[in-house]
Every structure is written in C-alpha cells, then in structure tokens.
Copies of this chain bind each other. A is one copy, B any other.
Amino acid sequence: MAAKLLSRYPWASHPFIVGAPMRVMSGASLAVAVSQAGGLGFIGPGVKTQHMEADLNEASTLINEARGSSAFSAIPLAHPVLPVGVGFQLWGDDIEIAIATVEKFKPCAAWLYAPRESLAEFDVWSRRIRKVSPQTQIWIQIGTLGESKRLLQSLEKPDVVVVQGLESGGHGRATDGMGIMSLFPEVADAMANSNVPLLAAGGIADGRGVATALCLGASGAVMGTRFLAANEARISQGYQNEIVRASDGAVNTTRTLLYNHLRGTFGWPAEYSPRTIINKSFLEHQEGSSFEELRKLHDEASKMGDSGWGPEGRLATYAGASVGLIHEVTEAETIVRDVQRDALSRIQSIGVAN
C-alpha cells in the first residue's frame, strides 16, 4: 500500500513524510522544500481562501526553477501536476474560490477537514475538485473511529485518509479524541477492506514517530510542529523560539479554543480544538480572568514583537504534544532527510534484540 501511494507522488521517497497544511504557517517555501526533499508539502489554508492563490503562484515559480535539477524531474511531463498539496477547512473556506484555485493550479492533493456539519460535505468538495482537476488526489483528515466508518459509506471515496491522534497541534477532535497508539490500529482495522492508504498524524516529530506510524500500519507520517522549526516556515521568531524551547507537552500544552477566540477566530465546529503551548493567557483564564481583560492584554502583547510569546507571553502558540522532541531550527530538507534516515535505521535495528 505504501509503494502504491508513493507511485502517485513520483518525486517522493520511502518512508513517506508529509508536511501538514498549517494555516498560514505552511506557505509556498515550506511546502515546496518538503516536496523537493522527497516528501509531500501542503500549503495551509490562508486567512482567507483567496490568499492561497498567491501561495500557489509562488510555489509554481519555485517548482519551475527547481524542476530540472531535483526530484521533481520524476514528474511525467505527459501528466503534469503541482508537487505540493493544498489544505482546506471546509467550515470556513469558500468553496467557489477553492475550486477555482484548484482548477487553475492542479495541486497533486487537496486535504479536506473540519466540515461544518456533516461528512457529506466531503462528498461535495471531492466531487467538485475531481471535476475540475481529476489528477488532484483527495485527502481527508479524521480523528475518530466513527468518522472512519461513515467515510466507508461516502459517495466519493477518498484517495488518502489521514488519521490524527489527540497529540496533534493542529485542530482535532476535542471531546472524542484519543492517542494515536490506540486510535490508528482500530481505524486501520475498520478500513482494512477499503484499499484506502492511511497516514498517521499527531505527535510525530522525529524518526521514532515515523517508524511508529509505519508499525501501526500507516503508509506514511504527517508532521506539523516539526516543520514549524524549519527555516522556511512562515512563523514569527518568538513563536518559533517557543517550538524549540518548550518541553513536556503533557504539562505545558493543552487543547483549548481560548487563543482562537482571543485572535477573533470563531466558528470552528464544536468537535474541534487545537493544542497550544500554555502561557499567561491560558493560566489567567484558568484563574478566572474575564475574557475581555484577557483579550485586552492579548492585543497589547501582539504589539510587543517576539516577547509576545513565551511563558510570560500571551499569544497563540499552537504546537503538538511532541514539541519537546524539537531542539533546533533547520532547513525543511534536513528535517525530511534526517527523519527518513532515522526511521529506517531504527526499523532495521529493532528486528533483533540489541
């Protein structure tokens, strides 16, 4: 299954490493760098759906510059496809603009998640994307066994399903989430006859996590937070400093909608929340400070530059529970290659006791 999946992305290599579509933070530079290193990078949703066009324009330019001298030369000229994916939040993105953007750029994959009300929205988006760009593979992110079972009934079968555990930084299941160790194999069993490759997401930040994903039955592994520590990430310095600094995700991160609300983002379906590194906004929220007070202090912090983040800061610092495994900022290419190499060497070493 992993080989079959890789064959659809001919520039990619085993083990298959995917850069998650992180809102705003995974722009063209990061997505292209991940793909160029032998993974698959996704451009995240923008603040508005129309912002994705600028990212895709930039990605196209970067890819054209790199085509001759990189893994992208493996893309058959007869079936051109943009070797980056795009992510859409179904509840918030404008479907008309999204479809027009996909039609124009033909990204190799569209990652759909967080429908407003029901999984039937995946069918609508999938059908329209396939109509305008048959070469765009449909990826659907789920976080529960129930979703996997309902997906099996869907009219538009996805090409890939991403199974996200509660360790994730990105928005995931708030009330019915579970660690990837328990969630993934149960979903894999439920979908065993579907022939849909599954990827694991949430809490994967190094070669150990990637090897683990493969052991659980995944055809590849998705990393988000690890790529926030890439030079190419579109992230403030203060935020990136926190990704490198923070440890002990069990204690120092939490799932909460507070920071969404402080930033003025409302409307996520009730089942979803992101994980964030805890700072003063959350601590004072727990101590009973009013939302209005917290928002005032948050807005002041947002004008303070990099000191707005950190233990004494107040700004949103979304990160997965494995943030403590990330210790330096480096090129995305280095991340992909190190993680692939470490995963393979770990798998080779554990076959016998040593």
Contact = CB atoms under 8 A, between A and B. Distances in A.
Interface string A320-338: 1110110000000000000
Interface in A1-21: 1-3, 6, 14-16
B353 A15 contact: yes
A146 B103 CA distance: 51
A243 interface: no
Nearest to A216: B208
Contacts of A324: 145, 182, 186, 189
Nearest to A349: B214
Contact of A322 (B167, B185, B351, B353): B185
Given A14-B352, A216-B208, A322-B185, A145 B247 contact: yes
A311 interface: no
Interface string A197-215: 0000011101011011011
Nearest to A248: B145
B352 A186 contact: no
A348 interface: yes
For this complex, into which size category does the number of interface residues on chain A fall?
Answer: 35 or more
A179 B166 contact: yes
A131 B176 CA distance: 47
Interface of A: 1-3, 6, 14-16, 144-146, 165-167, 173, 176-183, 185-186, 189, 202-204, 206, 208-209, 211-212, 214-217, 247-251, 320-322, 324-325, 344, 346-348, 350-354
A354 B209 contact: no
Nearest to A179: B179
A203 B215 contact: no
B167 A181 contact: yes
A2 B178 contact: no
A324 B178 CA distance: 13
A329 B332 CA distance: 47
Contacts of A180: 179, 181
B189 A325 contact: yes
A208 B217 contact: yes
15 contacts: A2-B354, A15-B350, A15-B353, A144-B250, A146-B248, A146-B251, A173-B250, A178-B179, A179-B179, A179-B321, A180-B181, A181-B321, A212-B216, A344-B351, A347-B350
